[in-house]
Amino acid sequence: MSPWIALYLDQFLIFILVLTRIGSLLMTLPVLGTATVPMHIRALLAVGISLVIAPLHFGLPIPPPENLPALGLLLAKESLLGLALGLAVMILLAGMQLAGQVVSQMSGLSLAEIANPNYDTNVPIFSQVLEMLALAIFFLVGGHRQVISALLDTFAWMPPGQGMLPDSLLSTMTAVATHSFETGIRACAPVMVATLLAILVVALISRTIPQLNAVAVGLNLNSMVVLGMLGFCIGSAGWVFQDEVEHVIDTVRDSFVVSSGDGS
């Protein structure tokens, strides 16, 4: 084989590996990885970023894969690195959706559902409100830049072709899920407490006045309490989510650093 052809093949392989790692993140990143963004826009963005990053690694010696299964394994390792970062952010957002579902169930408004185009399903209206709040805060605090920066840093620790899953990835994702659940509970805690007190008040009144229609009064009171408390505490829910964004990204980034340090 001509040396020029071998050089171009090596460069093309490096570009494909970089594109796989970056594309897997963009396919799972909030907003960019949803059905609301056309596929060709996501593909164009992934190719554009890869064209900037790939030339920095063109001199890297990468043993060519011997067969298709070896190439598939190489691409799978690269894609899992990007998927890990995107999945961590999606899990964090799921905590806010969980908070909305809890509020909807406690207030009796779980039947008030709207279509969520991001996941192609119906969700309670409070879940949609808190998810949109979390997405707005995620982009306002530069979460998208932090995630992409963390992914680009992985090329310094794990160059193309040397990607490997951290041994602590499972425990890291478990910790992220724990933080996500805790974030959702903390975000909706004031509304949950207020709704619980409203339910107890209606129960006490219904025991005192048996003729009172507790169901009708309870639903109306719960709706007013939830809307009032949510409007009053939605800012604090945003602060709770904001404090967790950087922590979750740093947690996943640190797992990659430890893995690369162990490998070296």
State the average pLDDT over residues 5-9: 59
Lowest average pLDDT, out of 32-36, 94-98, 207-211, 236-240, goes to: 32-36
pLDDT at 259 over 60: no
Residue 264's pLDDT band (cuts 50, 70, 90)? very low
* 70 membership: H or E segment, kind and range: helix 68-107
Instruction: Give dist(CA 194, CA 235) in Å, integer.
Output: 16
| Nearest Cα residue to 95 out of 243, 250, 225, 253 | 243
Range among 112-116, 125-129, 164-168 rated most confident: 125-129
Distance set, CA 140 to CA 35, 104, 134, 217 (Å): 22, 27, 10, 40
pLDDT tens-place string over residues 181-229: 888 888 788 888 888 888 788 777 777 777 666 666 666 777 777 778 7
Instruction: Give dist(CA 224, CA 100) in Å, integer.
Output: 16
Average pLDDT over all residues of the chain: 76
Q: Report angle CA 10, 14, 15 to the nearest 5 degrees.
A: 115
Lowest average pLDDT, out of 53-57, 72-76, 259-263, goes to: 259-263
Instruction: Give dist(CA 74, CA 132) in Å, integer.
Output: 36
Res 195: pLDDT: 81
- How many separate helices (H) and strands (E) can be counted in the chain? 7, 2
pLDDT tens-place string over residues 236-254: 777 777 777 777 877 777 7
Residue 8's pLDDT band (cuts 50, 70, 90)? low
